[in-house]
Structure 1
Amino acid sequence: MHPAHPALTPMIRFAGFCRANGQGFLVSLVVAAAAQFLSEHYGAPAMLMALLLGIAFNFLGEEGPCKAGIAFTSRAVLRIGVALMGARISISLMADLGYQMVGLVIAGVFATILFGLLGARLLNRGWRFGLLTGGSVAICGASAAMAISAVLPRNEHSERNLIFTVLSVTVLSTLAMIVYPILSEVLAFSPEESGVFLGGTIHDVAQVVGAGFSVSDQTGEIATLVKLIRVAMLAPVVLVISIIVRNHAAMRDTDARRPPILPLFVIGFLVLAALNSAGLIPGLVVDAMSVLSRAALLVSIAAVGMKTSLKRILDVGGQAIALIVVETVFIAAFVLIGVAMI
């Protein structure tokens, strides 16, 4: 058999890559499409549907021809989705809101992460779990959970904890979408105060939009703006976690290969945010990237669901549920107090 021509080698490698991962990617895509259909026709959160449907097809991720592709999708497609989120961020977002409100939102993010670390330590749940739950509650729900999980050191509980966190923040975010607008009306908040409260406390972007515009158009616009400022905190938070993990790995084993200081998907996030801030990305391209980002995250969470069994999720325990609920209450109280003081 003659060796392949050098010019054909990349094509041969690509074909081999597609054979190895194509089936798993396609089944993740089908599950994500089904989740989107259910979301559009029955009003259920798409992320939650993708996760639950993925768990129902867990056997595909355990063994067989789809296993490798599902593992690839849960890692690589996730990173693409997070990187593309950067196209929605710009410096002008912060300038439009005012430094006091921006300071409150940023302080809420870091305070909630620290609270999660402290709570995890008190409950003996481990620092990884505290960062994962605290970061997802503080920043942007399921998307933040997946991005943070991508840079945390792996152990036997990593997949279980990620699935639990995504499931929990999605359910809590849906409940907040219903309850928080009522609370803002009871407290007689102005449209700006309601927008800051809703955008600064609800976990997922879609639920923030739903809650904000259910109050008024002005509240919805401000809530979305505040939420995107929280999303912008994803890159610096992941960077700090990555540096800590890298230094920790170096201290434990000087011969071990340390993870990069700045993961490629975070670099992509920052580059797109910088380009958008400079006005170099047309509005239509930003919209397309936003749609593609959400689609990539939906496909990756379907793959993550297929990698984890329901039994393992239930093993997480009541303490973990209590922690993520208390974190949700903490950030709500923090922002409420801040809005009242400002």
Structure 2
Amino acid sequence: MKRIALLRTSVAGKWPGTIVCVTIALAATFLSQHYGGPQLLYALLIGLTFHFLHGNPQISAGIDFCARTLLRTGVALLGARITADQVAHLGLRTGIIVALGLCLTILCGLAMSRLLSRRMEEGLLSGGAVAICGASAAMAIAAVLPQSKENERLTLFTVVGVTVFSTLAMIVYPFALHYLPLSPIQSGVFLGGTIHDVAQVVAAGMLLGPEAADAATLVKLFRVLLLVPVVIVITFALRKLSGEAGNAKVGSRVPSVPGFLVAFMALVVLSSLGVWPPAVTALASESSRWLLVIAIAAAGVKTSFEELLKLGWQPVLMLFVETLFIATFVLIALLAL
């Protein structure tokens, strides 16, 4: 009986904050559908304006629940839209280009963080977000970093920055590709291998035709699939670094392989086996999108805009260089084929 009572209290305590985040997500969706623009960015900016609510203990529990639990659930559900057949259709050369570009972009992020005397976590966040799938990747990587206020600010700044750069890429890249000697499929590979957000990859691909859109979507989903090994490597690398530093307190804050990554891979396997109809895949994909929007709204509410501005211009430069790097690498690789 005590456990049931505690469960009821816990659930009841999360409702007010959850309702706030869902309302922000609905408002962001309305703005995106009626006026255009990235849904995630709207959710983030609206969330920032409601930061004053996070100090309310009746609301903070639900906001933390959305920013952590719903985020991980949303990332896990991304796996339902990926199958082994999709990955196989890419071809070995394309797969190598995408995987190599991803790894080198993360290394570029680490190099930039060192060059600018920034923290290693910032290089991992920005490099991983640009290399994999934008805001979703940033939030997934942040989930395995040591928990701190500084990392929360870095994560939110990365989400804002990578969303802005991805939006610009969605607009600029399709027009630039008209002047390059690439086939529709190669153009799709470029878009899927360089634009950060999944929805924006699809939109950019459609501007060049169905053939380019299909190729762009497949390549982008392959990048999303690589989120799992990347986060696992980051997790073990952080634990090793913490252990070598002899700092047990820091090491204890670096989590082991999170369950949401295991769930992600399990859904990829089940989707590949065809155990559910396309309607279930569509439902999982749509649920993932909504959960991520709600989670980003919660991240916005948790963060002070004044603290965000204190991060300065260097994170923007890092994101710009990383975005330019991955675009240049993929383009050169495609032209060299």
- For the superposition of Structure 1 and Structure 2, which TM-score range results when normalised by the shorter chain? over 0.9
8 Å contact from structure 1 (residues 61, 71) kept in 2: no
Aligned to 1:3: none
Q: Give, in whole Å, the separation in 2 of the partners of 1:282 and 1:250.
A: 46
SS of the counterpart of 1:153? coil
Pairing partner for 2:104 from 97, 111, 135: 111
Pairing partner for 1:197 from 190, 193, 199: 190
The letter for the 2-side match of 1:267 is V
Alpha carbons of structure 1 residues 260 and 150: separation in structure 2 relative to 1, 3 Å: closer
Aligned to 1:291: 286
Aligned to 1:328: 323
The letter for the 2-side match of 1:332 is A
8 Å contact from structure 2 (residues 146, 253) kept in 1: no
The letter for the 2-side match of 1:179 is V
What percent identity do the matched residue pairs reach?
47
1:316 and 2:283 are equivalent in the alignment: no
Aligned to 1:280: 275
> What is the aligned length?
335
1:139 and 2:162 are equivalent in the alignment: no
Q: Give, in whole Å, the separation in 2 of the partners of 1:99 and 1:289.
A: 28
SS of the counterpart of 1:65? helix
Matches within 5 A, 1:95-106: 95-106=88-99
Further displaced range: 213-222 or 152-161: 152-161
Q: Deviations over 1:10-47 (max 9, x none)?
A: 43222101222111111101100110111111111100
Matches within 5 A, 1:23-102: 23-102=16-95
Per the TM alignment, residue 250 of structure 1 is displaced from its structure 2 partner at its CA by 3.2
Aligned to 2:256: 261
Alpha carbons of structure 1 residues 302 and 193: separation in structure 2 relative to 1, 3 Å: same
The letter for the 1-side match of 2:29 is Q
Q: Deviations over 1:209-263 (max 9, x none)?
A: 1100011011111101110000001000010111112223334335764645321
1:165 and 2:158 are equivalent in the alignment: yes
SS of the counterpart of 2:27? helix
8 Å contact from structure 1 (residues 249, 258) kept in 2: no
The letter for the 2-side match of 1:114 is L
**Given the two structures, how large is their TM-score scaled by the length of structure 1?**
0.95
The letter for the 1-side match of 2:153 is R
Q: Deviations over 1:45-84 (max 9, x none)?
A: 1000000000011111133421121112101110000111
Q: Deviations over 1:131-184 (max 9, x none)?
A: 000000000000000000000112331111111100001111111011000111
Matches within 5 A, 1:121-132: 121-132=114-125
Per the TM alignment, residue 291 of structure 1 is displaced from its structure 2 partner at its CA by 0.5
Q: Give, in whole Å, the separation in 1 of the partners of 2:51 and 2:148.
A: 20
8 Å contact from structure 1 (residues 23, 69) kept in 2: yes
- Which segments of 5 or more consecutive residues in structure 2 lack a partner in the other structure? none
Alpha carbons of structure 1 residues 160 and 257: separation in structure 2 relative to 1, 3 Å: closer
Aligned to 1:185: 178
SS of the counterpart of 2:207? helix
SS of the counterpart of 1:157? helix
Aligned to 1:231: 224
8 Å contact from structure 1 (residues 164, 313) kept in 2: yes
Per the TM alignment, residue 332 of structure 1 is displaced from its structure 2 partner at its CA by 0.3
| RMSD of Structure 2 on Structure 1 (CA) | 1.4
Aligned to 1:4: none
1:303 and 2:298 are equivalent in the alignment: yes
Aligned to 1:175: 168
**Given the two structures, how large is their TM-score scaled by the length of structure 2?**
0.96
Q: Give, in whole Å, the separation in 2 of the partners of 1:246 and 1:13.
A: 33
Q: Give, in whole Å, the separation in 2 of the partners of 1:187 and 1:258.
A: 48
SS of the counterpart of 2:178? helix
The letter for the 2-side match of 1:100 is R
8 Å contact from structure 2 (residues 121, 145) kept in 1: yes
